[in-house]
Chain A
Amino acid sequence: MNFVLLILSAVLTNNFITVKTYGICPFLGVSKNTKSAVGMGVAVTVVMTLATLVTYPIYKFIMTPLNITFLWIIFFIFIIAALVQMLEAIIRKVSPSLYNTMGVYLPLITTNCAVLGVTQLFNGVNDLSAIITGATGAMNLGWAVLYALFAGVGFTLVMIIMSGLREKLNCCKVSKSLEGFPVSMIAAAFICMAFTIFMQIKV
């Protein structure tokens, strides 16, 4: 039951884009067609999950005993940057076709709020840890990684919805000053409104 609650919370009620407003840059920039939206979504999901998997032990077993948790911004951004570089190199070597669909978005992810946001799950700076403890009653590496994974799934879901909307918007006649970002933001507002309905979920 905890498991279901955590997944619902990560994907729907606390969706990263529509509720937390993390990762809006890729959401507006890379959602012009569904293919690139899926590529970006998957890339963000993978990096978010791996970043949580790596930063949690480092925070818990290296930074906390040494009392250097105030340096977390510098540490985490470096870990994420290194992780993204490694992942890019590995994917390029192992599967060039996967690199063509997903790898091109990887360098953009280093400066993505969603990834740095999710690594703050466990240091108490934001309310994400409260979401996990609220849903499962405990906070450990397994739950944190699971949460990051499904937050990524939620991110991908909204990216796909948005790309579908934007593909349709291309066929519409929009007045000149509303073209581009303004009209996609208003479309995004309607997605957010639709997602507020999930706030009603009580398990």
Chain B
Amino acid sequence: MNKYKKITLDGLIFSNPTFMLVLGTCPTLAMIKSSALSAAGMGLCVLVVLTLSNMIISALRKVIPNQVRIPCYIVIIATLVTLVQMVLEKFVPSLYDSLGTFLALIVVNCIVLGRAEAFANKHTVIESAVDGLANGAGFTVALTVMGIVCEFLGSGSVFGLQIMNFKIAIFSSPAGAFIIYGLSIALFTYIIDVFQRSRRVKANKLARENLLDRNGAETAEVNV
């Protein structure tokens, strides 16, 4: 169980694909500048493709010859993306239109190929599925949060609901998306840094107290 917890935490936080590894930047920037809804939709599409591709690649990891593994992965991913594209076009045409060309570009999203290469071809199907879900969720949450911030600053609305009546046009252009993305990475790494430092301090303190206790006991014994 502990293993799955570690995979999940790694995907969501400690090696979050968007903030820590800075992968899949093109769809991130394009989607957060357009709207929170399309950012969330993009995230969910990547989540589906990533989970399925991780499972298929991990199931086939003993079948695919090592020398031609990358082309094989690309075929699997391209097929999945084509399927997702067809499903969206049929059932959610509005999302299909707002994702536009970036839906097809999931094929060349480094996150999907990166997880296949770094994780799925060495682990079991269930572990790979958990990894895909965790990384996909990390990507989706990151995109949605940044999409909300960008949409709110750019048009005063959240998920299309008008909240305040103001508009800072730059936040619905690539420049604003770059600024929000850069600041988000900075904030995220800062929080992780503080968290890990406090954990280290706590661990150090615990170790020192243990040591002091033991020393104390020793000195007490000596005194006696």
Contacts and interface: CB of A to CB of B under 8 A. Distances in A.
A77 B108 contact: yes
Contacts of B108: 77, 110-113, 116
Interface string A171-203: 000001110011111101110110010000000
A120 B185 contact: no
Interface residues of A, number: 41
A186 B178 contact: yes
Interface in A122-150: 125-127
A185 B179 CA distance: 7
A190 B22 CA distance: 20
A189 B105 contact: no
Given A24-B26, A70-B86, A126-B100, A19 B110 contact: no
A74 B178 contact: no
Classify the interface of chain A: helix, strand, loop or mixed. helix
A19 B100 CA distance: 15
Contacts of A19: 174
Given A120-B104, A189-B175, A189-B179, A73 B78 contact: yes
A125 B79 contact: no
A181 B187 CA distance: 12
Interface string A90-134: 000000000000000000001111001100100001110000000
Contact of B75 (A74, A178, A184): A74
A77 B74 contact: yes
Given A74-B82, A111-B113, A28 B22 contact: yes
B175 A181 contact: no
- Which of A125, A176, A177, A184 has the most chain B CB within a 10 Å cutoff? A177
B57 to A, nearest CB: 16
B183 A182 contact: yes
Contacts of B23: 25
Given A23-B26, A74-B79, A177 B178 contact: no
A108 to B, nearest CB: 10
Name the interface size band of chain B: 35 or more
A64 to B, nearest CB: 17
A139 B65 CA distance: 42
A185 B185 contact: yes
A21 interface: yes
A86 B90 CA distance: 38
B175 A193 contact: yes
B182 interface: yes
Contacts of B33: 21
B176 interface: yes
B74, B104, B113, B177 interface centre (most CB from chain A within 10 Å): B104
List of 3 A-B pairs having minimum Cβ-Cβ separation, nearest first: A185-B182, A126-B101, A192-B175
Interface of A: 18-25, 28, 70-71, 73-74, 77-78, 81, 110-113, 116-117, 120, 125-127, 176-178, 181-186, 188-190, 192-193, 196
28 contacts: A19-B174, A21-B26, A28-B25, A70-B82, A70-B86, A77-B107, A78-B74, A81-B74, A110-B108, A111-B110, A113-B26, A113-B108, A116-B105, A116-B107, A120-B104, A176-B193, A177-B187, A177-B193, A182-B183, A188-B178, A188-B182, A189-B174, A189-B175, A189-B176, A189-B179, A189-B182, A190-B175, A193-B170
